[in-house]
Amino acid sequence: MQRQDRIIEKEKHLMLKHWMVIEPDYIREHHSIKQAISIFKEFDVEWLPVVNDDMKPVGILTAKSLLESLLLEKENDLLKKSISRDGFIIVSQNDSVLDLHRFPFNYYLVVNSQYKLVGTITRNEILDGISSFIQEIDQLEHTAAILDEVMNIAYEGVAVVDKEGIIVQFNEAYSRFIGVDKEDALGKHVQDVIENTNMHNTVKTGLPERGAIQYIQGQPMIVHRIPIWKNDTVVGAIGMLIFEGVSELYQIYDRIQNDNLKADTNKNIRNVRENHEKIRMTTLDQIIGVSDSTATIKRTARKVAKTDVTVLITGESGTGKGIYASGIHELSPFSSGAFINVNCGAIPENLIESELFGYEEGAFTGAKKGGKQGKFELAQNGTLFLDEIGEMPLTMQTKLLRLLEDKEFERVGGTQKYKVNTRIIAATNRNLWEMVEEGKFREDLFYRLNVVEIQIPPLRERTSDIPSLVSNFMKSMCHKYQVPEKELTSEAMSAFIHYSWKGNVRELINVIERLVVLIDSDTITLNHLPEYMRNSDDVSNNFLSHKGYSDNEKELIQSILNESNGNKTMTARKMGMHRTTLYKKMKKYNL
């Protein structure tokens, strides 16, 4: 496909309907302030669109406006008096993000042709998407033309450097903020223009940084630094300066304290803050990943978390099924109860019943005096996570099915009925449906557990997550072993991206831990990596050998492209290769 065709295709992808949060959480205008606070806590958000009974947007509600209403003791008032009529704009789902530069707003409410709310998006999410868009252009000289169009979209500061750290793009917002003319900034090294920058290191290491703190003119700012890749090599970086963050909320808290309000009002405000901080610490946001698949999975997990529906999490070993289960629990109505993790494959068959259901005194030789609670009792009003559910014996599957249907159970050796109010989340790395067909797993239990299935793809199918994972775990391992922070060369990062990771995130963590412990240098190069990771031929051909497809690579690529309806990102994921590798192969075969 010609370059112009690729750019046109990407521009179509910039339509808001491909970027927005679909079916977003919202609040009704007839709710009270008190009800709104409860909804904000439940959804774990800092803002929500407000709609009327016809699902048409009428404004937005922010944590700031809620706090101010609470400050004035208006918790029983209707929302209509607290709805913000500014700070946002209503746009069409067919609008392009490239057309939004006229609107200096933080929040965008997306509507369909009937003017009904169908999605939301924030300015920061737009900026992240733009950086991803830039990275998908396979040559730096191509990005320069497009950057001229997108640089001024951002109300925040945006700068782009080449592989030497020289500024090649610099928008007006950045220029105004630091007081340096754009013409004077272009062509100079970034360290000579932007105070305390780290973009010159971003192009050396290929490690993205999101939400980093950078002091400029004595003021702490939130910044994103994203490497730009070309043919498996970092050729530049884009830096984004975020002017507004959550600091406004804490200014309100400080004002409340300084205004000497009466004690009970202060107590309410402190409770709101403590609950808000608790929720923020235990959300799915802790899961690292920037790929479309990770974002979709997290969005699905948030939706199911609000219900008591049974969830089945599937995926290869090491993909993080337990982390998703924990995240769902923490955002669920059962979060006040315990999260109990049971590995069904680690408990001997003759003990699993007593482990799950507990036992009464005298139930068997050696039984504990007074009996013992089982995992279901421990998880009462909480969540029971049944990991490796495919390893559960058939006899135990029957008893589990009866419990799920009757919502009650008996301890081993007892007759008393115990009621169950427990959220069930199961996980497996096996194909349960194949086990059903082989008679190794009960079909009726399969349907009971598989009400909502969340499939976590292997790491080789979401390679865009790898740089962020490497960056995060490298820092945490260096902190754990109290060694100076280490960096990766772009060649080493490229090897991380192209390796097949059969052990997924768990294997990636192990490799990083080994490098941190054994490598004395502060910079990890390609030669420091295990030999099996340096074999790029094995990596690029992983999909072909692992899936057992034909050796005719051209026909295979064409076949996967057809299956994916021409979606190159999806094709690259299915083939276990980076997008740029796919583009090179398509060019090679004139596809």
- For residues 234 and 118, state if they share a domain: no
In a domain, residue 261? The reply is: no
278-296 burial: b if 16+ Cβ within 10 Å, else e: ebeebebeebbbbbebbee
Does residue 492 contact residue 526 with C-beta atoms inside 8 Å? yes
469 exposed, middle or buried (CB, 10 Å; 0-12, 13-18, 19+)? buried
Could you tell me which residues are beta bridge partners of residue 181? none
Contacts of 232 (CB under 8 A, 6+ apart): 494, 497, 498, 578, 580, 581
Instruction: For residues 517 and 583, state if they share a domain.
Output: no
In a domain, 286, yes or no: no
Domain co-membership, 418 together with 565: no
Last residue of a domain, one of 428, 455, 482: 455
The residue count of the chain comes to 591
- Report pLDDT for 339: 92
Domain termination residue (choose one: 126, 151, 167):
126
In a domain, 280, yes or no: no
| Residues 451 and 467 grouped into a single domain | no
pTM: 0.54
Identify which of 480, 573, 493 has the alpha carbon closest to the alpha carbon of residue 204.
Answer: 493
Q: Which amino acid would we find at residue 177? A: F
Range of the domain at 519: 459-540
Judge if 371 and 299 occupy the same domain.
yes
The pair of structure tokens assigned to 264 is 């009970």
- Return the CATH number at 93: 3.10.580.10
Residues 429 and 480 occupy one common structural domain: no
Same domain, 330 and 447: yes
Count the domains in the chain: 5
Give domain status of residue 16, yes or no: yes
* pLDDT by 10s per residue, the chain, length 591: 444 455 455 556 667 887 888 888 888 888 888 888 888 877 777 788 999 888 998 888 888 777 777 766 566 677 766 777 677 888 888 887 766 655 667 788 999 888 899 999 887 777 666 665 555 544 444 444 445 545 554 446 788 899 899 998 888 778 877 778 888 888 999 998 898 899 999 998 888 887 677 877 666 677 888 888 877 788 888 888 765 433 333 343 344 344 444 444 444 434 433 443 333 334 576 788 878 888 889 888 988 988 889 999 999 999 999 999 999 998 888 988 899 999 998 888 888 888 899 888 777 666 677 788 889 999 999 999 999 999 999 999 999 999 999 889 888 888 888 899 999 999 999 999 999 999 999 999 999 999 999 999 999 988 888 888 888 888 889 988 889 888 888 788 888 988 989 999 999 999 999 999 999 888 899 899 998 888 745 444 444 433 333 445 677 677 777 767 777 766 766 555 556 667 777 877 778
Q: The domain that contains 310 carries what CATH number?
A: 3.40.50.300
Closest CA to 97 of 44, 53, 134, 49: 134
> What pLDDT sits at residue 581?
65
Task: Indicate if 154 and 220 belong to the same structural domain.
Answer: yes
Structure tokens at 246: 């959550």
Residue identified by tokens 């997290």 is 298
The C-alpha atoms of residue 339 and residue 161 are separated, in whole angstroms, by 46
Residues 209 and 355 in one domain: no
Distance CA 78, CA 195 (A): 47
How far apart CA 351 and CA 24 sit, in angstroms, is: 45
For residue 404, tell me if it sits in a domain: yes
CATH number at residue 512: 1.10.8.60
Q: Residue 558 has which token pair?
A: 């064409």
Beta strands in 94-218 (DSSP E): 107-111, 117-122, 157-162, 167-170, 209-216
The verdict on residue 422 lying in a domain is yes
Whether 95 and 225 share a structural domain: no
Please work out, in degrees rounded to the nearest 5, the angle formed at the alpha carbon of residue 232 by the alpha carbons of 317 and 189.
125
Q: Residue 259 domain-assigned?
A: no
Give the domain-ending residue among 413, 434, 455: 455
Write down the pLDDT at residue 454: 94
Question: Do 99 and 178 share a domain, yes or no?
Answer: no
pLDDT for the residue numbered 432: 93
3-state helix/strand/coil string of 457-506: CCHHHCHHHHHHHHHHHHHHHHHHCCCCCCEECHHHHHHHHHCCCCCHHH
Same domain, 446 and 485: no
Q: Which residue has the tokens 């949060």?
A: 21
Any idea what the CATH number is for the domain that residue 193 is in?
3.30.450.20
Structure tokens at 407: 């919502």
Is residue 254 included in any domain, yes or no? no
